[in-house]
Amino acid sequence: MNIDLTGKIALITGATGELGRVMARTLARCGADVAVHYHRNSPKAQELVDEIRTLGRSALPVQADITDFESVMAMKEEIGRSLGDPDIIIHNAVIQYPWKSILDQEIGDYESQFRSSVMQSVLLAKAFIPAMIQGGAGRFIGINTECSLQCAPTQSAYVAGKRGMDGVLRVLAREIGEHGITVNQIAPGWTVSERERVQGLGADNDAYIKNVPLKRRGTDRDIANLAAFLASDLAGFISGAIIPVCGGNVMPAI
pLDDT for 201 equals: 64
Tens-digit pLDDT profile for residues 85-127: 999 999 999 999 999 999 999 999 999 999 999 999 999 999 9
Q: CA triplet 27, 217, 151: central angle to 5 degrees?
A: 100
Three-state secondary structure of 9-75: EEEECCCCCHHHHHHHHHHHHCCCEEEEEECCCHHHHHHHHHHHHHCCCCEEEEECCCCCHHHHHHH
Mean pLDDT confidence for 233-237: 98
Mean pLDDT confidence for 27-43: 98
Rounded mean pLDDT of the chain? 96
DSSP for residue 182 = E
Q: Is residue 169 part of a domain?
A: yes
- Examine the pLDDT at 200 and tell me if it is beyond 80: no
Q: Is residue 127 part of a domain?
A: yes
- Examine the pLDDT at 71 and tell me if it is beyond 80: yes
Asked if residues 230 and 238 have their Cβ atoms less than 8 Å apart, the reply is yes
Catalytic residues: 158
Q: Is residue 212 part of a domain?
A: yes
Q: Is residue 251 part of a domain?
A: no
pLDDT band at 216 (very low <50, low <70, confident <90, very high): very high
Q: Is residue 61 part of a domain?
A: yes
CATH classification of the domain holding 225: 3.40.50.720
- Examine the pLDDT at 202 and tell me if it is beyond 80: no
Tens-digit pLDDT profile for residues 122-160: 999 999 999 999 999 999 999 999 999 999 999 999 999
Q: Is residue 90 part of a domain?
A: yes
Mean pLDDT confidence for 17-46: 97
pLDDT band at 59 (very low <50, low <70, confident <90, very high): very high
Alpha-carbon distance of 44 to 106, in angstroms, equals 30
Domain that holds residue 121: 9-245
Q: Is the whole model's pTM more than 0.85, yes or no?
A: yes
Asked if residues 142 and 91 have their Cβ atoms less than 8 Å apart, the reply is yes
Q: Is residue 172 part of a domain?
A: yes
Counting the structural domains of the chain, the total is 1
Dihedral over alpha carbons 232, 236, 240, 241 (to 10 degrees): -60
Q: Is residue 174 part of a domain?
A: yes
Sign of the torsion formed by the C-alpha atoms of 218, 60, 113 and 126:
negative
